[in-house]
Amino acid sequence: MVLAGFGLPVAPYDLEATRILEKPSNNIDTVLALFSRDETAFVGYDVCDAPFYLFMTDCGRTLRQRVPHDPELSELKMLFERGDGAAWPPDPGRSFQPAVGLFPRRPGDTISAVAMDAGPTAGLIVLCAGWEVDGQPYGASSDGYLPVPLWLVRAAINEPDLARAFWHHSVRAPVSIQ
């Protein structure tokens, strides 16, 4: 309900089947009806239609070390270098300190999702991205729908700049959540 109230269309998401169960909406009454049918469903959103890209890592140090040099992470590097979204997280001083943030989607972007696990000594890096052409998702996993991380809900409640990112074309200032 919180995310829909801030303008992000959401719908029940089946984590086991990795698919959305209904058409996402940001109409509060519609969302309430959708989730009343399955109160245990995860909250899902359309990464290809969201006005932002979401990155997450369980190790900010790995992110800082890998993104500038790894060709598989070149689109994430480009997003950081555009300068209109999340700032590079500071070096946490030790491994496995999480970092997350948002980047605004620009018209014409064709940025693909990435999920890179560097193994037991380095962290996982995820970029939730993708785009649509004639209503078909490209460059995204799970047909373009993913569950919303709980930290994103908490951050939306506590950080007005982040909540504004849920409205199309409204991310203007950098948004990082450490």
For residue 174, pLDDT over 50 is answered with no
Three-state DSSP at 163 gives helix
For residue 162, pLDDT over 80 is answered with no
Task: Decide if 3 is inside a domain.
Answer: no
Q: CA–CA separation, 178 vs 158, rounded Å?
A: 13
The pTM (predicted TM-score) of the whole model is 0.86
Mean pLDDT of 111-138: 91
For residue 122, pLDDT over 90 is answered with no
Total domain count for the chain? 1
For residue 176, pLDDT over 90 is answered with no
Average pLDDT, the chain: 87
Mean pLDDT of 68-95: 90
Task: Decide if 34 is inside a domain.
Answer: no
For residue 60, pLDDT over 60 is answered with yes
Which pLDDT score is estimated for 129? 97
- Which is higher by pLDDT, 92 or 106? 106
Helix (H) or strand (E) run with residue 147 in it: strand 145-147
Mean pLDDT of 25-51: 92
For residue 160, pLDDT over 80 is answered with no
Task: Decide if 167 is inside a domain.
Answer: yes
Task: Decide if 21 is inside a domain.
Answer: no
Task: Decide if 38 is inside a domain.
Answer: no
Task: Decide if 97 is inside a domain.
Answer: yes
Task: Decide if 146 is inside a domain.
Answer: yes
User: What is the residue range of 95's domain?
Assistant: 46-178
Per residue in 88-105, pLDDT (tens digit) is 888 888 888 888 888 989
Q: CA–CA separation, 115 vs 59, rounded Å?
A: 13
Using pLDDT thresholds of 50, 70 and 90, give the confidence band for residue 85: confident
Task: Decide if 72 is inside a domain.
Answer: yes
Which pLDDT score is estimated for 37? 87
Mean pLDDT of 138-163: 85
Q: CA–CA separation, 20 vs 169, rounded Å?
A: 24
